[in-house]
Amino acid sequence: MHTVVVGGGIVGLASALELAERGLEVVVCEKGSIGSGSTERAAGGIRAQFSTPTNVELSLASMAVWSAFEERFDVDIDYRRNGYLFLARTDETTAALETAVEMQNERGVPSEVLEPEAARERCPGIDSQKFVAATYSPTDGFADPHLALQAYARAAGDAGVDVRTGTPVTDVLREDDGTESGGRIVGVETPDAPLEAEYVVNAAGPWARRVAAMADVDLPIAPKRRQMMVVDSETPVPESDPLTVDLETGTYFRPERDGEALVGGHLAGDDPDRDPDGYDRGIDFDWAADVLETASEWATYFGPESRIKRGWAGLYAVTPDDNAVLEETVPGLITAAGFSGHGFQHAPATGRLVAELIADGEASLVDIGALSSDRFGTERERLERNVV
């Protein structure tokens, strides 16, 4: 069975590896270099504190892989389980967090609701008087996306995957069955030559809508620009601190090494639709100043002597409800895109689910019915809070 995976980021490579390990012939077509889309610009967060059951289940299945990653791939990805700390300033946000924690606990996630002073024990640098509650899970954390991506790429190559960089897909081919909706997927066009395939996997991230359109499918997946920076903070950030998020302002930080911090935030005006081929990959200094000033109002680390060392921008592939599309969209076209910032952390489970859809005809690792594209505009559309 021949499969073409469109996209050489971590979702595409995880899918390719899982397919190859099931004995399928796989070609990965990447228009640039491996990871040149979103993966190399990700923050690396790995968490189970989500508000929808499907995302929690995807996280738990992926965490099983992340926890054993070094043993399986023989690569240390600097996976640190420092936890995630979500901070709430209002009763409304607190109620939403409490509901989410109850659902998470039912699925085995050891998250808990904390009083502000207890939250400060987890992260000594926060101003607890700014908040009314928090949630924390000790099994959340973060890893190095670059190291993880290279490990997947090497493993996929060793498993026989034909990874072709500098190879854009210019069309997705469907058989002419005489129907208005079109027939089954039969391959793709590339500048070099057409590739026959029984299945095509759309793992193109911010380019996923374009790829879907080649197959006469419209998917509401939009590229959104997100920025982050490494800050030499006035007060060193302990390496044991959790990834800490102020939900109301949208700003967050996590420790790097040597007292530095990775700082970001989804401020108003930061996320218009972008051309995935032509967006600015540097940071906006007005944004950086605003984020650092906002973070300094609730975290004592970021005083006036803090210094921005470097920064970058990347693209989320976002859907209207901030949940992925994971399905067989039309016969032979598997969509694994629109993760809205969760693609890195959910890649291990997604890869296996893609392999199940193709090799078994159905997904079994996680119930992905809620991630069908026919949910949009219906009561089944459930908003997931879009944070790092």
Least confident of 160-164, 174-178, 279-283, 377-381: 377-381
Supply the pLDDT for residue 184: 95
* 293 Cβ neighbours under 8 A, 6+ residues apart: none
What confidence category does residue 164 fall into, taking pLDDT thresholds of 50, 70 and 90?
Answer: very high
The yes-or-no verdict on residue 383 having pLDDT over 90 is no
Residues of the chain with CATH 3.30.9.10: 80-141+222-318
- CATH code for the domain defined by 2-64+145-219+320-375: 3.50.50.60
Fold of 80-141+222-318: D-Amino Acid Oxidase; Chain A, domain 2 (3.30.9)
pLDDT digits (tens, 9 = 90+) for 324-365: 999 999 999 999 999 999 999 999 999 999 999 999 999 999
Residues of the chain with CATH 3.50.50.60: 2-64+145-219+320-375
The yes-or-no verdict on residue 368 having pLDDT over 70 is yes
Distance CA 249, CA 41 (A): 22
The alpha carbon dihedral of 324, 326, 329, 335 has a sign of positive
Tell me phi and psi for residue 88, to 5 degrees: -115, 135
Q: What is the average per-residue pLDDT within 247-267?
A: 93
**Phi-psi region at 338: left, alpha or beta (left = phi > 0; alpha = psi -120 to 50):** left
Beta-carbon neighbour count of residue 183 at 10 Å? 15
What's the predicted TM-score (pTM) here? 0.94
Distance CA 201, CA 358 (A): 9
Which amino acid, 287? W
The alpha carbon dihedral of 28, 33, 34, 37 has a sign of negative
What secondary structure letter does DSSP report for 378? S
Q: What is the average per-residue pLDDT within 22-51?
A: 92
Distance CA 123, CA 50 (A): 20
Distance CA 291, CA 229 (A): 10
What confidence category does residue 379 fall into, taking pLDDT thresholds of 50, 70 and 90?
Answer: low
Percent of the chain with pLDDT over 90: 88
Give CA separation, 77 vs 69, 72, 82, 145, in Å: 8, 12, 14, 8
pLDDT digits (tens, 9 = 90+) for 242-251: 999 999 999 9
